[in-house]
Structure 1
Amino acid sequence: MASHRRPKQPSRARISVLTAAAATAVALSAQTAAHADPKLTVKQAKSEVDADRRDAAAATEKYNNAKEQQQALQHKVSLLQDEIARQQAVVNQELEGLGQVASSQYAEGAIDPTVQLMLSSDPQGYLQRAVAQDQVTQAQADQLAQLVEQQQLLQREKQEAAGVLAAEQKLLDQMRGIKNSAQAKLRHAQSVLAQLSPAQRAQAGAGYNYGTVKAQGTGSVKDINLSGISAAAQTAMQAAMSKVGVAPYSYGASGPNAFDCSGLVMWAYAQAGVSLPHSSYALESVGTAVPSLADAKVGDIIVNENGGHVGLYAGNGMLLNAPEYGYTVSIQPLSYFGRIVAIRRI
């Protein structure tokens, strides 16, 4: 029968030791937790959130640029596939005719050297030998050489298409990585803001996740002078101005109700019938170059932040732009941004 003895009670000294050990463990645990998740000040939280949002916005433009390249590769693949199909049809038609001749000659017990050539595993070598031995006429040799050339061209086109497809897949993988990076930055910003009270969150996040707050230093659309610029620039500026303080920044968005920085520029000029790429990096080479900011006119495209940001010049050293996550389309001093890398006029 199993024993049901009452467990032995620990001594008073043992209880004291265990109690002290437990207290120490709790204290250490509390210290570790405090070290792992320190209380942030509003200033520290704002600094972290702003950095995360800037990084996420820069990643968005890298994503947009990779997407532009991927779409160009898709177009190239489509053209190559069309050409491959056309070339394959030509080769198939000639080979079909050759097969019919071979079948007919085989039934008669003799195959013409020309047909032997095309049925050879090495038609180019056979052709050279056949011409040297006067087994085929020069006209036949020219016709067969043309077919061999078509087959070689078809093979090169297939190899090129395979290479383009591989490059496209690489870009797709890169795009996924960039997008994941941007989303990770935003999740971190959210986690930082979640540690604060609602009042502190509003102060540190400036409307984060709502997009209803104008950026600091926002100017007024009333200060923008549209005289002396092209009709396209006027139309683009009027379109962009209508979104100031209204449309929020949003990942990969190109209007009409939300934008990222290059999406705003693309959408604004689309209202004037001008097609532009959805990428701050690609916008560095559109239109014509403007030598310096002193030569810039309202409506010119200004790329800064090492190519990672873009907006429309609003005059008086101001930039009309979709700044970053948490803000609406705004007009800000260019001094808020990094070095200008390109000024382009449409």
Structure 2
Amino acid sequence: MGSHRRLAPTGFDRGTVAAVGLLSVAAAVLGAVPATASPHDDRRTEVDRLHTEAEQATEAYNKADARTEALRAEIDAAQDSIARQQARINTLRDGLGSLAGAQYRSGGVDPALALLLSADPDDYLDKASVLDRITTHQAGELRELEGAMRDLAQDRAEAGEKLTELEKSRKAVAAHKKTVERKLAEARRLLNSLPDDERAAYDRGSRSGRTGLAAGTDPAVPGDAAPASGRAAAAVAAARSALGKPYVWGANGPTGFDCSGLTQWSYAQAGIGLPRTSQAQSGAGQRVSLDQAQPGDLVAYRDDASHIGMYVGNGQVIHAPYPGAPVRYDPVGMMPVSSVTRV
């Protein structure tokens, strides 16, 4: 793990993290800002800020969208259960109606008179015994019906609450979507205001101010930097297969990805289900220090873990950076690291 210990081993050291953060802001994605800043530097910095805020809104959108999907599934299951319970109640009511009719017909004659008129007292006694059993059974059916109706009322109330929550979640999804679209539109406007050569250089540059490796380039993972498990190796292979695919906000593959969509999709190819958001993914395993990172570990960035990538060795992560930048390799220290998680 010697090579790992040369990678920003103080990834969780506050001083180093602060320094990395300052470098990320002070260095335009094209490289270090010269002593006399270009008039376009402010616009590039503003584009970075807008992309960061759009990514935070994207993760909020992903969270609301995942909750919406879960609520839809819960409501569908509740509605199926309610339909089954209603059918059972209808059956119980039909049965009770038949029993009540039989009791009325059998009990309409005074028992003493029925005994006097009976040609076969033994037969009368048998019928009376059956009537007693029917009455006991009917009481049990009534109790069962009452319980079923209580359960149905409770399930209907819970389904109503879920429907209310679903509507709130849908509104949250729509609000986050508008926020993302507004910030991305502003970022595009600023980028389009840059000269062509600077705009092209921005698209090639990484957030750390260093140029990311090309999609077809392998960072030559050292031999002692083996993945933590076979599934981690499969996830790394899946992430590599996505190199060059476009960043699409809210997407989790296979033709486009946002940051957490890429890591979720990659681990899904390895048979492991990850949560949808970068924040939830950062807590979906065992935390390790940056100098212990192994290929397949998830690296979350910023204090709010609003960006995430997959460590692949040799100081590199694969990630979906931002709109206009395809899935690619970048230095693990491109932004302040908030956590490293081994799935």
Q: Give TM-score scaled by structure 2 length.
A: 0.71
* Counterpart-to-counterpart distance in 2, 1:304 and 1:142: 62
Deviation at 1:88, TM superposition (A): 1.0
Aligned residue pairs: how many?
272
The answer for the alignment partner of 1:41 in structure 2 is 39
The answer for the alignment partner of 1:302 in structure 2 is 299
Q: Deviations over 1:173-210 (max 9, x none)?
A: 1011001000000111122233344334334xx23xxx
The answer for the alignment partner of 2:221 in structure 1 is 224
The answer for the alignment partner of 1:52 in structure 2 is 50
Q: Is the 8 A contact 1:49 1:189 kept in 2?
A: yes
Deviation at 1:273, TM superposition (A): 2.8
Deviation at 1:140, TM superposition (A): 4.5
* Counterpart-to-counterpart distance in 2, 1:69 and 1:282: 13
The 5 Å alignment of 1:202-217 reads 202-203=200-201, 206-207=202-203, 213=204, 215=206, 216-217=209-210
Q: Deviations over 1:21-75 (max 9, x none)?
A: xxxxxxxxxxxxxxxxxxx921111011111111112211211121112111112
The 5 Å alignment of 1:234-245 reads 234-244=233-243
The answer for the alignment partner of 2:266 in structure 1 is 268
Deviation at 1:137, TM superposition (A): 6.5
* Counterpart-to-counterpart distance in 2, 1:259 and 1:46: 23
Which of 1 and 2 has greater Rg? Answer: 1
* Counterpart-to-counterpart distance in 1, 2:48 and 2:260: 20
Deviation at 1:303, TM superposition (A): 2.5
Q: Is the 8 A contact 1:293 1:343 kept in 2?
A: no
Q: Deviations over 1:110-137 (max 9, x none)?
A: 6xxxxxxxxxxxxxxxxxxxxxxxxx97
Which range moved further: 293-302 or 335-344?
335-344
The 5 Å alignment of 1:164-179 reads 164-179=162-177
The answer for the alignment partner of 1:70 in structure 2 is 68
The answer for the alignment partner of 1:248 in structure 2 is 246
The answer for the alignment partner of 1:187 in structure 2 is 185
Q: Structure 1 pair 242/214, CA: closer, same or farther in 2 (3 Å)?
A: farther
> AA paired with 2:48?
D
The Cα RMSD (Å) is 2.7
> AA paired with 1:304?
Y
The answer for the alignment partner of 2:319 in structure 1 is 321
Deviation at 1:84, TM superposition (A): 1.0
* Counterpart-to-counterpart distance in 2, 1:343 and 1:167: 31
Unaligned runs of 5+ in 1: 1-39, 111-135, 208-212
* Counterpart-to-counterpart distance in 1, 2:188 and 2:135: 79
The answer for the alignment partner of 1:27 in structure 2 is none
- Identical aligned residues as a percent: 33
* Counterpart-to-counterpart distance in 1, 2:86 and 2:340: 45
* Counterpart-to-counterpart distance in 1, 2:286 and 2:311: 14
Deviation at 1:337, TM superposition (A): 2.1
> AA paired with 2:228?
I
Q: Give TM-score scaled by structure 1 length.
A: 0.70
- Say which SS state the counterpart of residue 255 (structure 2) adopts: coil
Q: Which has the higher contact order (CA 8 A, sep 6+)?
A: 2
